[in-house]
Structure 1
Amino acid sequence: MVWRLSGGKITPTESAAEIERRTLIAHAQTPVAGGHHRIAVMSLKGGVGKTTTTAALGNTLASLRGDRVIAIDANPDRGTLGLKVVPETAATIRTMLAEAPRIMRYSDARAFTSQSPARLEILASDTDPAISEAFDADDYRTIAGLIERYYSICITDCGTGLLHGAMGATLELADQIVLVTLVAVDGANSAAATLDWLNAHGYSALADNAIVVLNAVEPKSDVNLEVLEQHFTSRCRAVVRVPYDPHLREGAEVDLTRMRPATRGAYLRLAAAAGQAFGLRPARSR
């Protein structure tokens, strides 16, 4: 408006918020070194928003990037990641596993996924525990190998806990982890215990490079948020606060356009923090 009213004589400079947003987007758009990057979203405690975080992070990255982003449900039992997108297929991760030898190109893999409006693809698991089969380490390695061929970024929604079958392979293959917790003493203790476990079992690099998400932060809390954030900042690469959002509380499809601006901004910061690791080549061979 200033530019128009001045007849093009005055060009206002960008605000600090605009510069920050542009910088965050650039980080989220970092090209993936080596062609593929794996993010594991974890929580030792259930009910903290791990699956929602997986979907929201994936949608944010997919909306900003030109390459393919997929989120997969690696829960060993009943997973709910498939509920975060309008289903386009009844296929599941178990179906893809059975058809693995016949998947030869991207269109074959796409037949097993559902895509959100933001272009995130989701590979669901069985939601009925009566028909679901255990998903173990070998199964995860097979799926991960398929995904690597056709997608630049894979975000894995891990099962709760650290000792189930698929978790060992998930951690072995992960390039970075996102650790989700609520702003509560028990949740924070569980997140800290997860970092302790990772350090004690040979995954100290993942722990040091982790991003901790303080999820569903209310305007007022009995927990000292500053102290909690400082604790995790001293142990991890980044800490991101995600505010409480009524849309995410619904537990249904995750739609970026229905989130509050502050929530979308928080997930942009999370995507940018994750993106800062995309340009690093994995030390291990795949």
Structure 2
Amino acid sequence: MSAQAQGAPGDWQRDVFRELGGAASAGAAQEAAAPAALPPAPPAPGEPARHGRPLPPPTPVSVPVVGPALDGSGPRHGDPLPRRAGRALRRGLTSSAARQTETATRIARAIQQPITTGRQIAVTSIRGGAGKSTVAALLALTLAHHRHDPVLAVEADPALGTLPRRLGATEIRWSCGDLAGIVDPSMQITDVTGYLLPFAGGGWLLPGSQGTIGARLDVETYRIVMTSLRRWFGTTVVDCETLPAEVARTALTTTQARVLVAPATTAGAATTRSVLDWMGGLHRSMLPTTVVVLVHTAPDMGLDGRRAAEYLGAGGARVIPLPYDRSLAAGGEIRTALLAGATREAAALIAAETMDRAMTRGSSRGGPR
């Protein structure tokens, strides 16, 4: 990450680190630039504070994501066997294979475009059950697969969120609130990843909680985590609470791009249009940096995709349908090898379009089509 991202004039991140460090001094910046001699280890409960810093919270006990008695559903292919066989046959046709390769290459280049400072992407929705965490997980998995810089998925929906389950986590120990009390400017990325969970493709996950009912993530904790981690991760996907929660509103206005998830229904499109109008009133750059994902939770949703794209795309947002997929409908870990072909294509397009908009920040230049 650039030096500007770490210590730009007026950047309140330095004030956060000053509060976390206890004693403020001009040497704090030099300490942040120097590599840590040893990975910081949380002290045992009752151990005195080191260097005048407040004690970090005690090490939490790992909690399983899903109880063993409930975790017995087997994986399913997103496409039925006849469709998979037909797709394999079509790949044998030279012209069709060439077109698919050209499209995949163009989309991959958009996902892999170089960055100079971390890009943060907020994923939210107006109602629960729209597929928000599923889209956030697909986006994080796709970015981690294609990009070479570190990818982070942050669960900012702490009350019984499903992002850890979707990304294959089996147990949770550290959460956003825990890390906010531990993060230190002397840390390196190897220190930070000790508090994160790895997921497929080389990405990292920071859960919002251990699945406790009533868990909260306030705006201050969210800001500490996001500003502290941005210098280590090239791209960050934030699975937010549903709107109009305060953290979700903060994420919408502080990230470089945003994904608004809605069910592919007439009611879902109408509600989403209202949200887009509200977002457009916040700042003129909001809609050109927004991707709307219409999630099909059943094989035949009945929504006219072309008309929905015109209706929701007014103002600059890009509308992308996410087709029904049997493997996603199961609700467990997302296994990319089992996804339907159309689902993988849609996930890649969502990632490419989102990265393109995060980089252009409202430019009129369109993304991959």
Q: Paired residue for 2:239?
A: 157
The partner residue of 1:188 within 269, 280, 287 is 269
The partner residue of 1:106 within 189, 195, 198 is 189
Larger radius of gyration: 2
CA deviation after TM superposition for structure 1 residue 176, in Å: 0.9
CA deviation after TM superposition for structure 1 residue 55, in Å: 0.5
Identity of paired residues, percent?
A: 24
| Aligned 8 A contact 1:92 1:126 in 2 | yes
> RMSD of the alignment, in Å?
2.4
AA matched with 1:91: W
| Aligned 8 A contact 1:75 1:125 in 2 | yes
Q: Using a 3 Å threshold, how does the CA distance of structure 1 residues 148 and 203 change in structure 2: closer, same or farther?
A: same
1:228 & 1:259 partners in 2: Cα distance?
25
Query: In terms of mean alpha carbon deviation, does 105-114 or 211-220 score higher?
Result: 211-220
2:286 maps to 1:203: no
CA deviation after TM superposition for structure 1 residue 13, in Å: 11
Q: Paired residue for 1:4?
A: none
When the two structures are superposed, what TM-score results if normalisation uses the length of structure 1?
0.86
| Aligned 8 A contact 2:136 2:239 in 1 | yes
2:270 & 2:263 partners in 1: Cα distance?
10
- Matched residue of 1:100: which SS? coil
For 1:221-258, what per-residue CA distance to the aligned partner results, in whole angstroms no more than 9, with x for missing partners?
33322211221222333211111111111212122112
The partner residue of 2:353 within 241, 260, 273 is 273
Q: Paired residue for 1:238?
A: 318
CA deviation after TM superposition for structure 1 residue 83, in Å: 1.3
Q: Using a 3 Å threshold, how does the CA distance of structure 1 residues 127 and 207 change in structure 2: closer, same or farther?
A: farther
CA deviation after TM superposition for structure 1 residue 21, in Å: 0.9
| Aligned 8 A contact 2:257 2:361 in 1 | no
CA deviation after TM superposition for structure 1 residue 46, in Å: 1.0
Q: Using a 3 Å threshold, how does the CA distance of structure 1 residues 213 and 12 change in structure 2: closer, same or farther?
A: closer
For 1:70-99, what per-residue CA distance to the aligned partner results, in whole angstroms no more than 9, with x for missing partners?
110112533221112233652111211121
2:179 & 2:231 partners in 1: Cα distance?
14
- Higher relative contact order (Cα pairs below 8 Å, separated by 6+ residues): 1
CA deviation after TM superposition for structure 1 residue 277, in Å: 2.8
| Aligned 8 A contact 1:31 1:279 in 2 | no
Aligned positions of 1:139-154 closer than 5 A: 139-154=221-236
2:321 & 2:168 partners in 1: Cα distance?
27
1:168 & 1:218 partners in 2: Cα distance?
29
AA matched with 1:227: R
Q: Paired residue for 1:223?
A: 303
Q: Paired residue for 2:50?
A: none
Q: Using a 3 Å threshold, how does the CA distance of structure 1 residues 141 and 209 change in structure 2: closer, same or farther?
A: same
Aligned positions of 1:74-153 closer than 5 A: 74-75=156-157, 77-87=159-169, 89-101=172-184, 104-130=187-213, 132=215, 134-153=216-235
2:180 maps to 1:64: no
For 1:103-128, what per-residue CA distance to the aligned partner results, in whole angstroms no more than 9, with x for missing partners?
61112211222122222211112243
| Aligned 8 A contact 2:269 2:312 in 1 | no
AA matched with 1:95: D
- Matched residue of 1:272: which SS? helix
1:103 & 1:142 partners in 2: Cα distance?
15
- Matched residue of 2:164: which SS? helix
1:161 & 1:209 partners in 2: Cα distance?
18
2:252 maps to 1:171: yes
- Matched residue of 1:157: which SS? strand
AA matched with 1:252: G
1:130 & 1:219 partners in 2: Cα distance?
33
Q: Paired residue for 1:7?
A: none
1:121 & 1:206 partners in 2: Cα distance?
27
1:13 & 1:226 partners in 2: Cα distance?
24
| Aligned 8 A contact 1:183 1:215 in 2 | yes
| Aligned 8 A contact 2:164 2:205 in 1 | yes
CA deviation after TM superposition for structure 1 residue 217, in Å: 6.1
| Aligned 8 A contact 2:208 2:217 in 1 | no
- Matched residue of 1:91: which SS? coil
| Aligned 8 A contact 1:93 1:123 in 2 | yes
Query: In terms of mean alpha carbon deviation, does 65-74 or 211-220 score higher?
Result: 211-220
Q: Using a 3 Å threshold, how does the CA distance of structure 1 residues 171 and 223 change in structure 2: closer, same or farther?
A: closer
Q: Paired residue for 2:132?
A: 50
Q: Paired residue for 2:34?
A: none
2:322 & 2:97 partners in 1: Cα distance?
26
| Aligned 8 A contact 2:132 2:261 in 1 | yes
Q: Report how many residues are paired.
A: 269
- Is there any run of 5+ residues in structure 2 with no aligned partner, and where? 1-93, 364-369
